[in-house]
Amino acid sequence: MNNNQSGHRGVILMNLGSVESTDVQAVKKYLDEFLMDAKVIDYPYLFRLLLVKGIITPKRSPRTAEAYKKIWWQEGSPLTVITRRLQKLLQDRLEEPVEIMMRYGDPHPATAFRSLMERDPLLREVIVVPLYPHYAMSSYETAVEYAQHSYEKGKYPFKLSVIKPFYQEPDYIHALAENIRPSLKQDFDYVLFSYHGVPERHIHKSDITHHHCLRSENCCFTESPAHSFCYRHQVITTMNLTAKELGLTEGKYGISFQSRLGRAEWIRPYTADVLRELPEKGIKKLVVVSPAFVADCLETLEEIGMEGKDIFMNAGGESFQMVPALNTNSGWVDVLMKWVKEYASGEKEMADSV
Note the pLDDT tens digit of each residue in 9-54: 999 999 999 999 999 999 999 999 999 999 999 999 999 999 999 9
pLDDT digits (tens, 9 = 90+) for 155-179: 999 999 999 999 999 999 999 999 9
Q: Give the contacts of 264 (CB within 8 A, at least 6 positions apart).
A: 199, 200, 201
pLDDT digits (tens, 9 = 90+) for 93-123: 999 999 999 999 999 999 999 999 999 999 9
Domains recognised in the chain with CATH numbers: 3-167+330-345 (3.40.50.1400), 170-322 (3.40.50.1400)
pLDDT band at residue 352 under the 50/70/90 scheme: confident
Tell me the CA distances in angstroms from 79 to 72, 158, 299, 329, one per residue in order: 10, 29, 10, 14
Quick check: 317 and 179 in contact, CB under 8 A? no
Model confidence at 7, in pLDDT bands (50, 70, 90)? Answer: confident
Task: Write phi, then psi, for 13 (nearest 5 degrees).
Answer: -90, 125
Q: Which of 139, 166, 183 is nearest to 297 (CA)?
A: 139
Name the nearest CA neighbour of 346 among 159, 154, 87: 159
Q: Are 161 and 223 in contact (CB under 8 A)?
A: no
Residue range 306-335, pLDDT digits in tens? 999 999 999 999 999 999 999 999 999 999
Strand partners, 287: 191, 321
Give 353's pLDDT tier (boundaries 50, 70, 90). low
| Mean residue pLDDT across the chain | 96
Sheet of 125-130, strand order: 98-102, 9-15, 125-130, 159-162
Is the distance from CB of 202 to CB of 231 less than 8 angstroms? yes
pLDDT at position 350 is 87
User: Which has the closest alpha carbon to 66: 108, 22, 35, 4?
Assistant: 22
pLDDT at 295 over 80: yes
pLDDT at 1: 36
The answer to whether residue 3 scores a pLDDT higher than 60 is no
